[in-house]
A = this chain, B = another copy of it.
Amino acid sequence: MAKSYSLMIHGGAGALDKVKNLQDAAPCLRSIRRILERGQTILKRGGPALDAVETCASLLEDDPLFNAGRGSVLNEHGKVYMDAAIMDGVTLDAGAVAGINRIAHPIKLARLILEKSGHVMLIGDGALRLARRHKMKMVPESYHITEQRLEEYKKIRQKQRGKMDALSEKKHGTIGAVAMDKKGNLAAATSTGGIPYKKEGRVGDSPIIGAGIYADNSLCAISATGHGEMFMRTVLAKHIADLIAFRKMDVESAARSGIAYLKRKVNSRGGVIVIDKKGRYAACFNTRTMVRGWIARNGEIHCAYL
């Protein structure tokens, strides 16, 4: 039997919690399906997992429905600042970027950092400098800001002035992708605009290796989504990887155990997608919804949000 491949992507936990019927979730699910097809094309022809997760993440960044790249939520000053990371399970090489704007695809900058910087994480202007040196396409700040996010921002600001808790308001998920290619190599990618009305300079879990993302060929590839601070405090992606490493858990139990730990330790909600070294996949979340999609053993694409 030809060696198989595996791919799973998500568009955020909790983002569709207020959706009442399938029809309202349909645009997100259609987008997830279309993006999985693109990732499948790469993996089917024997392309690397790292390329598959980068491509899927960059397409999710393109879609304004998701809180990453175009369509990112706005911070307290009405600005977009994005974080992203990519990790190669073969070598544990990783690239992460935080607090950037004017880059159409933060995940591509994360990949550039992985390959060309000699560092793991670059932030702000330093990251943009590397992007420019490598002729990465820059876009105006307005490119990332959609009409809808601006409306939401204005509503939160109004409530903020009335001292209501804005952060508990509108939730939009981070995006992520995990893959195993035909060679059995694993990779993971995450990208996000963060949380709405976040303070200037806030960095969440998405670009933090071990918190929002992790990949190790000998264990698994993970992408997380939820209240970033809670994933950072619990170092949740590494926690799940260590459940597989030290407790010999299967991928499903490890994902479930990880989300239970998130609830128990810091009383929080979120979700994870995980693929192990055999290509077995699991999605687990304790929000009402998590938009996600995966490719089954027979090559069929599946999408779900409940």
Q: Is the interface of A mostly helix, strand, loop or mixed?
A: mixed
- Tell me which residues across on chain B come within 8 A of A200, comparing CB atoms: 122, 125-126, 129
On whether the beta carbons of A214 and B199 are closer than 8 Å, the reply is no
A196: CB under 8 A from chain B?
Answer: no
CA distance A198 to B99 in the complex (A): 18
User: A83 to chain B: closest CB distance in Å?
Assistant: 10
Could you say which of B123, B167, B209, B234 contacts A124, with CB atoms under 8 Å apart? B123
On whether the beta carbons of B122 and A202 are closer than 8 Å, the reply is yes
On whether the beta carbons of B201 and A167 are closer than 8 Å, the reply is no
On whether the beta carbons of A119 and B229 are closer than 8 Å, the reply is yes
CA distance A202 to B93 in the complex (A): 15
User: A199 to chain B: closest CB distance in Å?
Assistant: 6
90-127 of chain A: CB within 8 A of chain B:
92-94, 98-99, 117-127
CA distance A99 to B126 in the complex (A): 10
- Tell me which residues across on chain B come within 8 A of A123, comparing CB atoms: 98-99, 123-124, 201, 203
- Tell me which residues across on chain B come within 8 A of A126, comparing CB atoms: 99, 199-202
- Tell me which residues across on chain B come within 8 A of A202, comparing CB atoms: 117, 119, 121-122, 126
Nearest residue, chain B, Cβ from A235: B210
Could you say which of B124, B209, B242, B246 contacts A232, with CB atoms under 8 Å apart? B209
A137: CB under 8 A from chain B?
Answer: no
Per-residue CB contact flags for chain A residues 195-231 toward chain B (1 = under 8 Å, else 0) read 0001111111000111100100000000000001100
CA distance A300 to B122 in the complex (A): 42
On whether the beta carbons of B199 and A122 are closer than 8 Å, the reply is yes
Nearest residue, chain B, Cβ from A77: B126
Could you say which of B127, B233, B247 contacts A201, with CB atoms under 8 Å apart? B127
CA distance A204 to B239 in the complex (A): 20
Report the interface size for chain A: residues with CB under 8 A from the other chain. 45
Nearest residue, chain B, Cβ from A208: B208
User: A54 to chain B: closest CB distance in Å?
Assistant: 18
Nearest residue, chain B, Cβ from A119: B202
Could you say which of B93, B122, B130, B233 contacts A92, with CB atoms under 8 Å apart? B233
On whether the beta carbons of B238 and A209 are closer than 8 Å, the reply is no
User: A240 to chain B: closest CB distance in Å?
Assistant: 10
A164: CB under 8 A from chain B?
Answer: no
Could you say which of B120, B232, B247 contacts A233, with CB atoms under 8 Å apart? B120
52-102 of chain A: CB within 8 A of chain B:
92-94, 98-99
On whether the beta carbons of B234 and A201 are closer than 8 Å, the reply is no
- Tell me which residues across on chain B come within 8 A of A243, comparing CB atoms: 246
Could you say which of B121, B198, B204, B232 contacts A203, with CB atoms under 8 Å apart? B121
- For this complex, 23 residue pairs linking A to B, each with C-beta atoms less than 8 Å apart, are A92-B265, A92-B266, A99-B123, A117-B202, A118-B229, A119-B198, A119-B203, A120-B228, A120-B233, A122-B201, A123-B123, A124-B124, A125-B200, A126-B202, A127-B201, A129-B201, A208-B210, A209-B233, A209-B235, A210-B235, A214-B235, A238-B242, A242-B246
